[in-house]
Amino acid sequence: MKRRILFILNPHSGLGRHRRVESAVERYLDKEYFDFEIEYTQKAGHATELARGAVERKVDVVAVAGGDGSINEVVKGIYGSNTILAVIPTGSGNGLARYLKIPLRASKAISLINDFSVSRIDLGFINDELFVSIAGLGFDAEIADRYAKATIRGFMTYFSMIAGAFQSYKPRKYTLKFDGKKKLKERAFIISFSNSNQYGYNTSFAPDASITDGLLDVSIIRKPPLLMTPLLAHLLYFRRIDETEYVDVYRAASVEVKKKKSVMLNIDGEPVRMEKKNLTVRAEKEALRIIVPK
C-alpha cells in the first residue's frame, strides 16, 4: 500500500522557497510509494492545526518545509502519535536539519524521504512548552523576540541585533537544581537547554549534546567583556565556546529553574513569554519518529 504524506509549507519562510519545494515534490517524490497533498500555513500556530488534522486522518508522514519554528509547530501536532516527521529545511538557521545532516536543498531532502530511513529522537519540554532542538532564557530569548518582529531575516540581521543589544542587557539571577540533586545559583547572561548541539547557523553552546541520549545539555553563559566578544563569536562558530571560562555545561534529564519574575523564552528560535516564576525543563527519550539519512 502507498504511504500517505502531507507537506506543510510556510510561504513566509525564505524568499519564494515554498515554490521550489512544490516543484521538487512534483519532480522528486516517488509517486509509486507515496500519495501526497500540500497545505499552506496562514498564521502562527496553523501548522499545529494542520498536523493534528493529519494525525486524525491517519496520514503516515507529515513533511514540514520551514525553519525550526515551523518544525516545532508541526511536532506539537503529531506528538504522541505514530505519525512520522520529515523536514525540508527552508528557514534561516535550520539548526535541527544541520544537526541531523538533512540536506538543505529541497530536491535532496525529498529524495531522503524516498529512502524512508526512520529513527527516534528525544524531545524537550520547558513547563508545558515543547521544544525539538534548543530552548533558552536570557539574552538569546530577547534577541529571538526582536528577530521575530524583523521584516528582513538572515544571519546579518541576527548579528546586528546581537551587537546592538549586547551592552545594555544585564544578566539575571537564577537558581538551578539538576535531577533534583545538584543546586546552583548563578547570575547568567544566557541559560541554554540543548536537545541537539545546533543553535542555528552551525553554531553551538553545547557541541557534545545528543538528541538520542535522554538528556539535556544545560549551558550557563556569563556575560563576557565587550573586548572578548569577537573571539567568543569565533569560538561559538567553531564549536569551542564551551572551553572558555564564560561557559559551563551540565548534563541532566531534568532541571528546575527559579527566577524572580516572568521572562521571555527562546523556544526553537521563537519567543514565548513565560509568566510562571518556576520552570521545569526535562527531556523525553525517543518521543518522536523522524526521517533521517541512513
In a domain, 174, yes or no: yes
| One domain, residues 105 and 135 | no
Q: Which domain holds residue 147?
A: 129-286
| One domain, residues 162 and 261 | yes
Sequence-ordered strand ranges (E) for the chain: 3-9, 34-40, 61-66, 84-89, 118-126, 129-131, 134-138, 172-178, 182-188, 190-194, 216-221, 247-252, 254-258, 263-267, 270-274, 278-291
The CATH number linked to 17 is: 3.40.50.10330
- Enter the pTM of the model: 0.90
End residue of a domain, out of 56, 85, 116: 116
In a domain, 176, yes or no: yes
User: pLDDT tens, position by position, for the chain (294 residues)?
Assistant: 899 999 999 777 555 677 889 999 999 999 999 999 999 999 989 999 999 999 999 999 999 999 899 999 999 999 999 999 999 998 878 999 999 999 999 999 999 999 999 999 999 999 989 999 999 999 888 887 877 777 666 667 766 777 777 878 899 999 999 999 989 999 999 999 999 998 877 788 899 999 999 999 999 999 988 888 777 777 777 778 888 899 999 999 999 999 877 788 999 989 998 877 789 999 999 999 999 998
pLDDT value of position 158: 65
End residue of a domain, out of 91, 116, 141: 116
Nine-digit cell at 94?
535550520
In a domain, 203, yes or no: yes
| One domain, residues 7 and 135 | no
Q: Please tell me the distance from the alpha carbon of residue 279 to that of residue 273, in angstroms, as a whole number.
A: 12
**H-type helices in 57-135, by residue range?**
68-78, 95-100, 106-115
| One domain, residues 80 and 159 | no
| One domain, residues 47 and 157 | no
Residues 6+ apart with CB under 8 A from 238: none
pLDDT value of position 168: 84
Structural domains counted in the chain:
2
In a domain, 265, yes or no: yes
| One domain, residues 42 and 164 | no
